[in-house]
Amino acid sequence: MAVTVQCPTMGDILAGNQCLENFAGLGSTVYVGLKEDLLEPMKLTDGVYTTPKFKSGKGLYRFDCKDDAQQIQGSSLKNNKGFELTGHFVIDAVSKLTAKYSRSVNNLKLFFIFLDGEEDSQILYDPTRNVRFDDGGIKSDTGKEAKDERTTTFECKLGPVRYDHLYVTPPTTGGWDSLLANKATVMPGG
């Protein structure tokens, strides 16, 4: 049985489509989800994943990060090899709590949602591949002098994927905070 694959249709990228504004950076909130908490894998259509649906009592976790520090970079992996995504976020703290969560982030199978302006959200997720933290991908720094900042920096990678940026459809009401695990209810029998 032959598999039929169709490339996306090409079109013009016009400056007018972007209203001549191209704001750099991502929002200061990053949402973290456990892949095992998903009710079903999210579906991808033209680079956009469906809104995640969680098992009873499960949901997202919110990381409030440093302003102007979040970033996703997409880079090609040779012709016909897809792309690798690199996500970067920074928490303004080095503490017992960040140490605990750094260990979890380093070891669990997670996905990450980054706010991208008022309407879009980008995601590092693939149903079969895992986001990974390479050597040095999680770094903490207490600083040396009083003027220095204490930070925990996370740099994760996902690839190969089909697009150089992946988006996710937000919930229709309540935004991403409506899917937080601490707001989830446990259904009877679930």
Which pLDDT does position 174 carry in this prediction?
92
Cβ partners under 8 Å of residue 39, min gap 6: 53, 54, 55
Per-residue pLDDT of the chain (190 residues; tens, 9 = 90+): 666 767 776 666 666 655 555 567 788 999 999 999 999 999 999 999 999 999 999 999 999 999 999 999 999 998 989 999 999 999 999 999 999 999 999 999 999 999 998 889 999 999 999 999 999 999 999 999 989 999 999 999 999 999 999 999 999 999 999 999 988 766 555 4
Q: How far apart are the first and last CA of the chain?
A: 40
Is residue 75 within 8 Å of 157, Cβ to Cβ? no
Q: From the CA atom positions of the chain, what is the Rg in Å?
A: 18
3-state DSSP assignment of residue 46: coil
Phi, psi of 17 (to 5 degrees): -65, -25
Cβ partners under 8 Å of residue 183, min gap 6: 59, 177
d(CA 141, CA 55): 36
Which pLDDT does position 119 carry in this prediction?
85
* pTM of the complete model: 0.87
Question: What's the mean pLDDT when you consider all of the chain?
Answer: 89
